[in-house]
Structure 1
């Protein structure tokens, strides 16, 4: 029986992030690296001891949970109900999770809003990226900081691995990567239990200049730029990450 899932009519992330296969493929993400980044970031921002932090597009909540362990009041939101269901297993009085679309405004203000691990630029329409920035801006308090941790498109495109196969939990994920219409696209095909699956990841190839233009349009002040999780200087042709701090 063949069950090839198409994502043309629905947002790709609504489909892919809600499948168990998304979590299988990315199960070996580096938690130590993520925690080091949170240590460096919170130290750099010098946040109040009991700061309210929003983890925007939190997935299963790995950053949220660690930030909460550091003592912060953390809210994690994500469009994937399955991810939030898993994250909620770790909820407590100072750690909450909700299903939320990042384009929509939030009901309260935060000392910091973190959008981490390339959780931006998923939408087909450029206006949705603007809506997301506007929602972040409107949900920061007077002294609050916004942080977007994005891929460095220039570096990623120059070092793109066109094809590879990753075997995780006995499933062979056949992955193709290419650039089309200013988007970095990852095709993911695999078979499991007699069914064939096909998913796409599409991320806008946004450069620092693109972000600067969008932030200017939203009246957002870009304060600092880093190129990796140790907060080293950003180099257009060498840095793997594009980490932006703004108010």
Structure 2
């Protein structure tokens, strides 16, 4: 049985099973979000965007199709290797730890689809926000697309079985010690697997404290991918615009 490491994201995101489990993600929804977000930020063609924790690059690839100069960065070497096949003069992918500043400046830095709050140490979350700020040019915007933890905890589906590509994923979710935890068990090729996703339950107030400590200005807050007003009780997302 495979056990998750302390850095669960380093092992789980690099497996093919992560991408199998989440293969049914809604690309249309993601593309509409990018349309709404780039329009709201008034980003012009050819401006530089950093897609931080880009995974296999689905947002990066679409942003590039919209005419932007995009860099996708992720800790997973396997994801970056896969995404690199889509590179062109205005689209590149690099292995990078988001806790550290990237070597360029951007008009926008996007951290999308709950790609934050993985770390055990508080300073790592703060350092990520500081790194995003340092990667912005003079007119640049940072965007963090996180879950609305209050809504998620209130609507948590504790147990679920998900069949994908002949694999039966048994999923258990719970909230414990300030983290939303998802345990994933399955069997494939006569071998048992066990992985854990563990994301800190960071509230709006928590983010506001991070931003204050990082000297970041919070400009706007949205509650869904249509960029409607955030409501603590019923918004599925917490989308933060800052600089």
**TM-score, length of structure 2 as denominator length:** 0.99
Q: Does 1:7 align with 2:21?
A: no
Superposition pairs for residues 27-66 of structure 1, below 5 Å? 27-66=23-62
1:124 pairs, out of 100, 112, 120, with 120
**Residue 175 of structure 1: how far off its partner (Å):** 0.1
**Residue 104 of structure 1: how far off its partner (Å):** 1.1
Q: In 1, Cα distance between the equivalents of 2:177 and 2:95?
A: 30
2:14 pairs, out of 18, 31, 35, with 18
Unaligned runs of 5+ in 2: none
Q: Which stretch shows the higher mean deviation, 34-43 or 46-55?
A: 46-55
1:140 pairs, out of 130, 136, 139, with 136
CA RMSD of aligned residues (A): 0.6
Secondary structure of the corresponding residue to residue 160 of structure 1: coil
Secondary structure of the corresponding residue to residue 206 of structure 1: coil
State the Cα deviation string for residues 170-223 of structure 1 (Å, max 9, x = none): 000000000111000000000000100000000000000000000000000000
2:91 pairs, out of 88, 95, 116, with 95
Equivalence for 1:219: 215
**TM-score, length of structure 1 as denominator length:** 0.98
Q: In 2, Cα distance between the equivalents of 1:49 and 1:197?
A: 44
Q: In 2, Cα distance between the equivalents of 1:70 and 1:151?
A: 26
Q: In 1, Cα distance between the equivalents of 2:167 and 2:45?
A: 44
**Residue 48 of structure 1: how far off its partner (Å):** 2.3
Q: In 1, Cα distance between the equivalents of 2:36 and 2:58?
A: 16
1:114 pairs, out of 97, 110, 113, with 110
**Residue 6 of structure 1: how far off its partner (Å):** 1.2
2:172 pairs, out of 171, 176, 182, with 176
Equivalence for 1:232: 228
Q: In 2, Cα distance between the equivalents of 1:7 and 1:100?
A: 21
Q: In 1, Cα distance between the equivalents of 2:127 and 2:222?
A: 24
Q: In 1, Cα distance between the equivalents of 2:135 and 2:180?
A: 29
State the Cα deviation string for residues 144-176 of structure 1 (Å, max 9, x = none): 000000000000000000000000000000000
Q: In 2, Cα distance between the equivalents of 1:235 and 1:107?
A: 36
Q: How many residues of Structure 1 are paired with residues of Structure 2 in the alignment?
A: 243
